[in-house]
Homo-oligomer: A and B are copies of this chain.
Amino acid sequence: MDHLIYADDLAQRARAASRLLATVSSERKNRWLAHAADALERRTPEIVAANERDLAAAHSSLSAANLDRLRLTPERIRAAAKGLRNIVALPDPVGRVLDSNARPNGLQIQKISVPLGVIFFIYESRPNVTIDAAGLCVKSGNAIILRGGKEALASNSILHAILQDSLHAAELPIDAVQLVNTPDRDVVGRLLQLDKYIDLAIPRGGESLIRRVAEEATMPVLKHYMGNCHVYVDRAADLGMAERIIVNAKCQRPGVCNAAESLLVHADIAQAFLPKAASSLIARGVELRGCPATRALVPAAKPATDADYAAEFLDLILAVRVVASLDEAIDHITRFGSQHTETIVTADADAGRRFTAEVDASAVMVNASTRFNDGYEFGLGAEIGISTDKFHARGPCGLQELCTYKYVVYGNGQIRE
């Protein structure tokens, strides 16, 4: 029962804090962000010491890559502080007039942006995410309950203490940022049932974490599933541009959701494009898996299966298919795509228009790398994730996507006939 009491208490405190936060001035929220940024830099030795305890405890159980993700260096702490200062500069999303309307009966109706309320943020090892997420949630007027990985508990605890000290200094409710301070999974399970107090759950991590949260949660969940992103090289493509784009989309950072996983090539330019593009990709260590037409042009390519066309490799592997037409490319993307990010390379404006109209994805691009589907690159300033849902928010989610709205109606005694 203890975990029930603990979880309910956390959630109720968050709800109470969210009420106060909803009407706080931008200036006060920005003061907190600036104070927290300074405090993180000033207290770097404490943070590094706590992080070293986490690293020592996880030493035998985590891979070298995961230990690196867990590590907080002075540089990384400085970068996180800079992230908070960047959020200061972003416009406050709360109170924006999204729409307004004067009715024939004299009612003045405004649709106003307001915070969602309480966000439950569940994430895996990188402790600097603690800082980003808290900054974005509080700036958008939301209280946040943080639940990081158990390997990062000492690191997250000191970060949380610093953020709360700064909340106190900025005269904001300290329960605006709370941390689940136990690895007990039952606490997470209980919190996911408290839709009465929590407005949104955001799981950030592997697919199994997201699925578990989506199944258990009674509140909405901002999901961040896989990206099986395509680059389609049209017959009217600039082939040099197409090669630069597929190399960038595949190789610049292969382990992320907006990296390309499949290349579609129009048959008319396959011979001119594929052998040369393939050698650029192979030179960067990419394994190619292709259809028979691809393999006829690129003997080094292995045969591709439907599973390859459906895969999110997150690795230097690329599925390749030669298609007879734009229609066949769109059909392939409709069948295998994950509605994340899709690019056409073409100089034909009609082909670009058809592709962007008919392909259903969070971002559809003409002549640009899939890697641009990102909150910073789109000008949102920062992001808390990239939604693969269509409901509420799609694609990169920044401050605005952490808000809902309410209608504010001014009358002078109107009643309904």
Contact between chains at B116 and A415 (CB < 8 Å) = no
Contact between chains at B414 and A372 (CB < 8 Å) = yes
Residues on B with C-beta less than 8 A from A394 are 404-407
Contact between chains at A368 and B411 (CB < 8 Å) = yes
Contact between chains at A117 and B415 (CB < 8 Å) = no
**Can you tell how many copies of this chain the complex includes?**
2
The docked-state distance in angstroms from the alpha carbon of A116 to that of B389 is 10
Interface of A is mostly: mixed
Residue from B116, B358, B377 within 8 A of A416 (CB atoms): B377
Question: A220 in the interface, Cβ–Cβ < 8 Å?
Answer: yes
Interface residues on A, range: 35 or more
The docked-state distance in angstroms from the alpha carbon of A200 to that of B390 is 9
Contact between chains at A413 and B363 (CB < 8 Å) = no
CB nearest to A214 among chain B residues: B218
Contact between chains at A363 and B19 (CB < 8 Å) = no
Question: A410 in the interface, Cβ–Cβ < 8 Å?
Answer: yes
Question: A371 in the interface, Cβ–Cβ < 8 Å?
Answer: yes
Residues of A within 8 A of B (CB): 19, 22-23, 101, 103, 107, 109, 114, 116-117, 199-200, 220, 238, 241, 244-245, 247-249, 252, 334, 352, 356-358, 360-369, 371-373, 377-379, 389-392, 394-395, 404-416
Besides A19-B358, A199-B390, 4 more A-B contacts (Cβ < 8 Å) are: A23-B357, A200-B391, A366-B409, A367-B411
* 6 CB-based A-B contacts, threshold 8 Å: A238-B413, A366-B409, A366-B411, A369-B415, A390-B404, A395-B407
